[in-house]
Chain A
Amino acid sequence: MTTLRVWLSRLRGALSGRSRAEAELADEVQAHLDLLADDFVARGMSPEEARFAARRAFGGVDQVKAVHRDQRGLPAMDAFTQDVRFAARSLRRDRAFLLTAIPVLALGIGVTHMFLTIVYAHTMRGLPISRPDRVLYISTFDDRTPDRPMSYPDFDDLRASARHFEAIVAYTSAAVAVGDEGRAPDRFEASYVSAGAFEALGISPLRGRGFEAADHRPGAAPVVVLGRSAWESRYGGDPGVIGRSILLDGAPATVIGVLPGRSGFPGTASMWLPIEQRRGLTTAPRDARTLRVFGRLNDAASESNARAEVAAIMSRLEARHPGTNRAVRARVVRINDRFFGRIEGPWLAFLIAGCLIVLVSSANAANLVLARSLHRVREVAVRTSLGARRARIVREQLVEALLLASTGGAAGLAVSSTGIRLFANAIPGGTLPYWIDYTLDWTTGMALVAVSLLTLAIFGLVPAMVASRVDVVGVLKDGGRRQASNLGLRRWTTAFMAVQVALAVVLLATIALGSLAARGGLDTDAAVATTEVVTAALNLPAARYPAPDDRRRFLQQLLDRVQGAPGIAAVAVTSVLPRQGGAESRLHTDGPPSPNGEATTLVVAITPGYFDALALRIAKGRDLTEADGHAGARNILVNRRFVEQFLQGTEPLGARLAVSTPGTADGPPQWQAIVGIAPDIRQRGAPDAEPIVYQPLASLAPATSTLMVRSGMAPSAVASVLRETAGALDSTVPLYRIQTLAQAVYDAEWNPRVSARLATTLALLCLLLTTVGLYAVTARAVSLRQHELGIRMALGATPARIARLVIAGVRPPLLLGLGLGLAGAMAWDRAFPSGQPRLGASDPRILAIVGLVLVLVAVVACYRPARRAARLAPAEVLRQG
């Protein structure tokens, strides 16, 4: 392969030091000339004559060197590196341009990449398991319920008769309390899994072993596998924990292994147990559908065959068990399709926003490049007339754009990773399932390259085409003015700038709206977001506290003991903390039925002293008392908003109402009497208060509730008091999520907070891009009109007048954009009502502020070009023309 060898040699030549080869050639040629001259001298010439004769005989030294050079390396590559050097040099000279174009590109690419990465992580990345395309998720549905899990008997039959699957496994999740000697108990999310679950997903334990067949036999000794996070947080990563017996919900189980981090089942489980250990599960009836089921296909099986097989088995089950399985069908999808693949709702908005940003920023970059290339029209014309080929000039422009795009891409990566870090940190730990991973991988890396190339295509190609169309004669004749203004881009630029301004108007208006709406929060917000209240969730294991009376007794003892501890001002228990929701319930009153459908209210269960713990006062009537805390107690509180909405015009105190869980059959209403009116506290994110019914916690005594303790002590001191007190009462009851109420509220509100931050980022970015865009357009206009402005000045126009003339140039896009933005804000109001009467994005107050901001932006953008115009020296400009 001679040609290959030649190419390799050339490649080596191109890559290796060019100066060395050059020096050697020079030496060699010099040696040749010297030898030749020696000969001539020997033939009797004078040294002077000999040197000339030698040169003549040799031929053109420089031509030989040039041929040598081209042959030595790869001429195309040499030319490319030359172009890169040239572009880098010419860019470095134009620092003002670089300082605008690079940040514009970096922000555009970075923010877009950040959005893409987030969307990708949530909707496309897939589970980190081996060959996920061979794992099918099997759920059921019938005429009434579109999607439900599977019952144990159905799962067992399916597992026994399916032939196309290597394994079919089921799991279900529950919280367990973990206790062992000498440690405060913890609460973990656990998955109960059937035999072969780890193998089916290709997960092997980090330490110890997974479950074996013997562990799944009925009556087998209870065992547990820890997740890495549980192993590290509770046992400090001690390998000695394997083989030890720990208490799960009060019952002993042996730790047999630890799973690696970032693995497990769809969900946030950090502990695994054999499904047979879940009490009553394997003997549950056929219509108790609680199991999530998936199977791994045989190597030989096809997906469609497997689907048909599952369908056949389900119809057999229907025939055999008509009572429980009538019309129950299976839905079989790839496991990643079950959890990923749907880009909708906020993700779609994210994606659109990302694309808009990159378009806007690269169009802005195009404007900047265009403004810059207009300065160079003359240079291009001169070079073309001297014989430079158009292709070469376009290539130079593209190389310059490539440099810009790659620098912008690299800086964009920094922007993106910072943004993603901020985004991820804003989400409280444990909120997202383990598979959501924002790290840069091959796909997101390629996305970055693709986005950078997209910007390159937009801001690189257009100006390059424009430059290549330069009409040489015209430019050389009139200095490029007519040429530049004939490029026909003006209308496009105006339209583009107007859209950008409109976008900025809408974004700014919605943000202003958001902050106005937030200011309209409740006066209890400050009282709730307090660090003086420490909260701790607790979970009473069903094994030890089966009956409500048991739980009631424990909670009462706990309350009494904590209350008695030194430094504690008030203590209460609630079913759910402020901002963390509540039980959405149907409301029944004595009054006529509500005209707009069923009335609903949130229900929160509390102990007496809840409002004391929050340092809030009952608005009217009385608080709940110990006497209301019995099983048959019928007294409740409602909040003000409830009275406004449902009890308008009647005496609320003493009025009766009933609540029931939606979807349950209508029994006779359990009437309850209102004894007091509570202040409005937001249970959910909405800025407005919602109707809330406060029931005595003791009448329900739920297994999971949250302690609230007000004291003047440091939160950590309170936490240890709580742990000690609860531990002394029952060492198997875990207290978890111990934090201040302020922290709990902050965590609970992450979603609106993160959305608001993203929106603010977008708006600021849009504003920045608008500024840059207006600047580029104005600067370009000034360079184009230099000659005209010079004449005006020569004829007596004052600098102020010239500056006004320049500023007038941004008026059309600005006015058009404000108009479009107004329309956009009104459309926004219709699409996303703010939830507050008389307040919307098109509110005149908001639009006035936004308009003012944009005018300011325009002034900032025009300042430099206007000043430059005003300082033009007419004589100089006219002489140049």
Chain B
Amino acid sequence: MPPSSSEVPYGTLDLIVLKTLAAMGPLHGYGIARRIEQVAEGALALNQGTIYPALLRLEQQGWVKSAWGTSENNRRARFYSITAAGRRQLAAETETWARTVSLVSRLLDRES
């Protein structure tokens, strides 16, 4: 199967954003989007705008916080950073995700 870019799997964008913030420190929305695209190496067709609802969701949960600042090329931008609660959530989610993935792949292996 040729590598083609696919949609972001449902429900994983929040996790990806949290992981990105945990790894990179405070970032603005564009920075997060660019970082995700970089890591995905073109395997992901990200509508960059969709990260904003995701960020709002995370902020409402108290997992990220935001503050206005200035970007590297002197533009006003909103910077997001992960909170302690966000780190705990990321750890929990990562584990769940790993378990799910291993379960699914085990199932797939056995059936093939």
Asked if A425 is an interface residue, CB under 8 A from chain B, the answer is no
Chain A hits for B99, CB < 8 A: none
Mark interface residues in B12-29 (1 if CB within 8 Å of A CB, else 0): 000000000000000011
* A window 12-36: CB within 8 A of B: 24-25, 27-29, 31-32, 34-36
Contacts A28-B29, A31-B30 hold; do A38 and B49 have CB atoms under 8 A apart? no
Q: How far is the CA of A395 from the CA of B52 in the complex (A)?
A: 32
User: A27-B76, A31-B78 are contacts. A67–B47 as well, Cβ < 8 Å?
Assistant: no
Given A10-B60, A31-B71, A58-B47: A68 touches B53 (CB 8 Å cut-off)? yes
Q: Which residues of A lie under 8 Å from residue B59 when comparing CB positions?
A: 9
Instruction: Please name all residues of chain B whose beta carbon is closer than 8 Å to the beta carbon of A60 when the two chains form the complex.
Output: 47, 49
Shortest CB distance A578–B (Å): 80
Does A301 sit within 8 A of B, measured CB to CB? no
How distant is the Cα of A31 from the Cα of B50 in the complex, in angstroms?
15
The answer to whether B52 and A25 have CB atoms under 8 Å apart is yes
Interface presence of B98 (CB below 8 A): no
Interface of A is mostly: helix
Distance from B63 Cβ to chain A, minimum over Cβ atoms (Å):
9
Report if A38-B73 is in contact (Cβ < 8 Å); known contacts: A29-B49, A64-B53. Answer: yes
Given A28-B78, A31-B28, A31-B77: A57 touches B48 (CB 8 Å cut-off) = yes
A-B pair count, CB < 8 Å, reads 74
- CB atoms of A58 and B57 under 8 A apart: no
A10 nearest in chain B by CB position: B60
* Assembled-state Cα–Cα distance A61/B57 (Å): 18
A64 contacts B28, C-beta separation under 8 Å: no
Please measure, in the bound complex, the distance between the C-alpha atom of A297 and the C-alpha atom of B2, giving whole angstroms: 91
Q: Give the contacting residue for B61; candidates A6, A27, A32; CB below 8 A.
A: A6
CB <8 Å contact, A35 and B75? yes
Cβ of B75: which chain A residues have Cβ within 8 Å of it? 31, 34-35, 38
Answer whether residue B56 sits at the interface, using C-beta atoms and an 8 A cutoff.
yes
A739 CB to closest chain B CB (Å) equals 73
The interface on chain A, measured as residues whose beta carbon lies within 8 A of the other chain's beta carbons, has a size of 28
Closest residue of B by beta carbon distance from A21: B56
A68-B52, A71-B53 known; A32-B47 Cβ under 8 A: no
Instruction: List residues of chain A with CB within 8 A of the CB of B77.
Output: 28, 31-32, 35
Given A2-B61, A31-B71, A38-B73, decide whether A64 and B49 contact each other with a Cβ distance below 8 A: yes
Interface: A59 (CB within 8 A): yes
Task: Compute how far the CA of A59 lies from the CA of B29 in the bound complex, rounded to whole angstroms.
Answer: 14
**Contact check: which of A24, A25, A35, A64 meets B50 at CB < 8 Å?**
A64
Contact A58 B78 (CB under 8 A): no
A28 and B48 contact, CB distance less than 8 A: no
Which parts of A492-550 form the interface with B (CB within 8 Å)?
none
B24-65 toward A: CB 8 Å interface, digit per residue (1/0)?
A: 000011110110000000000001111011001101111000
Q: Are A35 and B52 in contact (CB under 8 A)?
A: no
Write the chain A residue with the least CB distance to B61: A2
- The answer on a CB contact under 8 Å between B53 and A67 is yes
Within 8 A of B (CB), among A24-69: 24-25, 27-29, 31-32, 34-36, 38-39, 57-61, 63-64, 67-68
- Is A5 positioned at the interface, with any CB of B under 8 Å from its CB? yes
A61 to B50, CA, bound (A): 9
A72 within 8 A of partner (CB): yes
- What's the least CB distance linking B43 to chain A, in Å? 16
Assembled-state Cα–Cα distance A866/B60 (Å): 61
Residues of B within 8 A of A64 (CB): 49-50, 52-53
Minimum Cβ distance to chain B for residue A16 (Å)? 13
Which residue from B29, B31, B48, B60 sits with its C-beta under 8 Å from A6?
A: B60
Among candidates B31, B33, B52, B73, residue contacting A28 with C-beta atoms closer than 8 Å: B52
Closest Cβ of chain A: how far from B89's Cβ, in Å?
9
- Contact B49–A9 (Cβ < 8 Å): no
Decide if B78 touches A71 in the complex (CB within 8 Å): no
Tell which of A25, A57, A61 has the most Cβ of chain B within 10 Å. Answer: A57
Assess whether A36 is in contact with B30, with CB atoms less than 8 Å apart: yes
Bound CA span A59–B33, Å: 12
A residues less than 8 Å from B50 (CB atoms): 59, 64
CB distance from B100 to the nearest CB of A (A): 20
A59–B34 Cα distance when bound, in Å, is: 14
Residue in chain B with minimal CB distance to A36: B30
CA distance A58 to B29 in the complex (A): 11
Residue of B nearest to A27 (CB): B76
Question: Once the chains are docked, how many angstroms separate the CA of A9 from the CA of B59?
Answer: 9
A35-B73 in contact (CB<8A): yes
Inter-chain CA distance A140–B7, complex, in Å, is 89
| Chain A to chain B: the 6 pairs with minimum beta-carbon distance, closest first | A59-B47, A64-B49, A59-B49, A35-B30, A9-B60, A31-B77
Q: Which residues does A use to contact B, with CB under 8 Å?
A: 2, 5-6, 9-10, 24-25, 27-29, 31-32, 34-36, 38-39, 57-61, 63-64, 67-68, 71-72
**B interface residues, Cβ below 8 angstroms from A:** 28-31, 33-34, 47-50, 52-53, 56-57, 59-62, 71, 73, 75-78
A–B Cβ pairs within 8 angstroms, 24 of them: A2-B62, A5-B62, A6-B60, A9-B59, A25-B52, A27-B78, A29-B52, A31-B30, A31-B75, A31-B77, A31-B78, A32-B28, A32-B33, A32-B49, A35-B30, A36-B30, A57-B47, A57-B48, A58-B49, A59-B47, A60-B49, A64-B50, A68-B52, A72-B56
